[in-house]
Structure formats: structure tokens, C-alpha cells
């Protein structure tokens, strides 16, 4: 499978997970079951009353970041901050509290780095990191980490958020290069838990109603991602847990898209995803891996 296919699938997966999850965001599994049985269609609605196939901040912030990276030719904190600020001015359908607070702070100070806070351990930086994973393919681990923090720290300057973001970026990059799910588990997910037990997802209860706390988010994402065998089952499993379902859906969709590739994304979901969103995700995925370093391009050509 081509690297480009996996990159596009990761971006479309992010958007589809966001669109699918938004319908049941903030609902409990019991409420979802009562209303939908199993929620498995892009029907819109939810507390944001979206049209079918429409997405939320998880996807639109990713696209804003991706545009800034493409304009600069690299990941840059100040350009990311300006892009997020412009995104906020355009009145997005939803916005996280930490994102809003630290972007307002940026407007005042012009400093694209939020003050460090252990309380800013929300999932807002993790949900939008895909463009960084694509644009830094083939770079050294240090370069990838630096890029990862540059975008994250605009709104979330926090140890646990950083740990989550870096784990996810490396997982996506390895999956794009054809790593197996088992590789991702042993090389990235388990080491993250060893360093930060907050992320424990094995031998604990099924994570239902995951909150916006990044450790809760990743616990739900990892349980669904590692315990299912295809794109569809992974997304259905995670969004039916309710809670911050658009974000768990988006992050799971990104990982599952990168791992399983474009062919595994159900046709019905691809068709229902807002056409303009799908076009933007596809175009950006292609462009971002093109600005990644020449080594990654050679791999892309060979794959």
C-alpha cells in the first residue's frame, strides 16, 4: 500500500471519526443505545445540531494548522498561533475552553507559547496534530518532537499533553510506513504507559464517557484501536462509548486510517462525509507529505 494512500486515509479517518462522534458527543453509552441501538451512521445532529457529514473543531483546527504549515514550508509556532486565531475569529461550531483561553492570551501578548500548566491536560492539542505527523515524516525524533511541541504549546503547554501528542505522532508515522498494530502497541503505547501511568488502558475498566482529559481520551482510543481489527469496528466501538466522542472518534479515525489504509474506510462513510471537507483533507494530506524531507518522499515513491 502506498504511503500517500495511508496519509489520505488518516486525514479522512480523522474527519469521519469527528463527524460520526459528534452525533453522540456528551451522551452516555446507555443514552446512545436507547436512541440509536448502535450508532454507526453519519447522520449529524448531536448537541451542535450539525448537518450529516459535517465536522467540528478537531478537523477544522487540523486543517487550519495544515494550511499554516504549508504556507511556511515547516511547522512554526507563530504561524500556527495566527492560524488558530484566524480560525477562532471565523466562529467555529465548537471550541475548547483551554484553546479559547490561551488564544485570547496570544492576542494580547503575541507570544505563541502558552504558560506552562499541569491543568491544561485536555485533548485539544492531540486532536489536531495530524498535519505535524505528515509534514515531519522522515525527520529525526528530536525534530519531530520540536515540531510537535511548537503547535501544541500554542494552547496546551503541559507534560501529559506533550506525552500524548508525541506518542500519537510517532504512532501515525510508523503506521504510515507500514508498521503493524502490534509494533505500535509495543513501541509506543506501552512505553507511554510506563512513563506516565495516567494513560493505563490495560487491566482497567472499559473507558466509557471519556472526558476531554487527554489521559481519558487516549485510554478510550487505545482500548478501541488495539481491541478491534478494522477501521469500521474501531470507530463504532469508540464513539459508542460516548463522552468526548467526536474527539475520540477523530483520533481513532486518524490512527485506524493510517494503519488500515483507504480501502478499509467504508464507502457509505466516505460518501456521507461533507464533500468539501473530504476534498480539503485529501489535498492537504498529499501536500503535507510532499513537504516532508526528501527521504520520506523517496519512500513514498518506492511504496
Binding interface with Mn ion (CB under 5 A): 56-58, 94, 244, 246-247
CA torsion sign for 97, 100, 104, 107 is positive
Question: Of 13 and 138, which CB lies nearer to Mn ion in the complex structure?
Answer: 13
State the minimum distance, in angstroms, from the CB of residue 140 to Mn ion. 32
By Cβ distance, which residue is nearest to Mn ion? Answer: 56
Question: Closer to Mn ion at the Cβ: 94 or 143?
Answer: 94
Instruction: Report, in Å, the least distance between residue 172 CB and Mn ion.
Output: 19
Tell me whether residue 57 or residue 237 sits nearer to Mn ion (CB atom). Answer: 57
Q: Nearest-CA neighbor of 149 among 96, 190, 113?
A: 113
Q: How far is the CB of 290 from Mn ion (least distance, A)?
A: 28
- Which of 53, 1, 2, 15 has its CA nearest to residue 251? 15
3-state secondary structure at position 45: strand
- Nearest approach, Cβ of 26 to Mn ion (angstroms)? 9
Neighbours of 179 (CB within 10 A): 18
Which residue, 211 or 293, has its beta carbon nearer to Mn ion?
211
Cell of 199: 494513560
The rounded distance, in Å, linking the Cα atoms of 125 and 217 is: 12
Query: Inter-axis angle of helices 275-291 and 3-22, to 10 degrees?
Result: 140
Residue 24 beta carbon to Mn ion: minimum distance, rounded to whole angstroms? 11
Q: Which three cell numbers stand for residue 134?
A: 505528515
SS3 call for 86: helix
Which three cell numbers, joined as nine digits, stand for 61?
Answer: 483546527
> In this complex, which beta carbon is closest to Mn ion, that of residue 22 or of residue 151?
22
> Measured between alpha carbons, how far is residue 82 from residues 109, 132, 157, 221 in Å?
12, 16, 17, 30
The distance of closest approach from Cβ of residue 141 to Mn ion in the complex, given in angstroms and rounded to an integer, is 29
Q: Return the number of the residue (179 or 256) whose C-beta is nearest Mn ion.
A: 256
Amino acid at each position: 500500500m502506498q504511503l500517500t494512500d495511508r496519509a489520505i486515509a488518516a486525514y479522512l479517518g480523522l474527519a469521519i471519526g469527528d463527524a460520526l462522534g459528534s452525533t453522540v458527543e456528551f451522551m452516555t453509552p446507555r443514552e446512545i443505545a436507547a436512541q440509536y441501538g448502535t450508532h454507526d451512521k453519519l447522520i449529524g445532529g448531536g448537541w451542535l445540531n450539525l448537518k450529516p457529514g459535517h465536522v467540528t473543531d478537531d478537523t477544522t483546527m487540523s486543517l487550519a494548522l495544515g494550511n499554516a504549515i504549508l504556507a511556511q514550508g515547516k511547522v512554526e509556532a507563530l504561524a500556527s498561533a495566527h492560524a488558530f486565531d484566524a480560525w477562532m475569529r471565523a466562529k467555529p461550531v465548537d471550541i475548547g475552553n483551554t484553546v479559547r483561553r490561551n488564544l485570547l492570551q496570544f492576542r494580547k501578548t503575541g507570544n505563541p507559547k502558552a504558560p506552562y500548566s499541569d491543568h491544561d491536560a485536555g485533548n485539544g492539542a492531540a486532536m489536531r496534530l495530524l498535519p505535524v505527523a505528515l509534514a515531519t515524516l522522515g525527520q529525526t525524533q528530536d525534530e519531530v518532537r520540536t515540531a510537535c511541541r511548537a503547535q501544541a504549546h500554542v494552547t496546551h503547554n503541559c507534560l501529559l499533553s506533550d506525552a500524548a501528542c508525541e506518542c500519537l505522532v510517532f504512532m501515525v508515522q510508523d503506521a504510515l510506513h507500514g508498521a503493524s498494530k502490534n509494533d505500535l502497541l509495543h513501541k509506543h503505547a506501552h512505553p507511554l504507559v510506563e512513563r506516565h501511568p495516567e494513560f493505563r488502558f490495560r487491566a482497567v475498566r472499559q473507558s466509557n464517557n471519556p472526558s476531554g482529559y487527554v489521559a481519558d481520551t487516549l485510554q478510550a482510543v487505545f482500548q478501541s484501536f488495539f481491541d478491534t481489527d478494522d477501521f469500521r469496528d474501531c470507530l463504532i466501538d469508540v464513539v459508542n462509548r460516548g463522552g468526548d466522542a467526536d474527539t475520540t472518534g477523530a483520533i481513532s479515525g486518524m490512527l485506524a486510517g493510517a494503519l488500515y489504509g483507504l480501502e478499509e474506510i467504508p464507502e457509505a462513510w466516505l460518501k456521507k462525509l461533507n464533500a468539501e471537507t473530504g476534498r480539503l483533507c485529501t489535498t492537504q494530506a498529499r501536500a503535507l507529505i510532499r513537504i516532508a524531507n526528501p527521504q520520506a518522499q523517496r519512500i513514498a515513491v518506492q511504496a
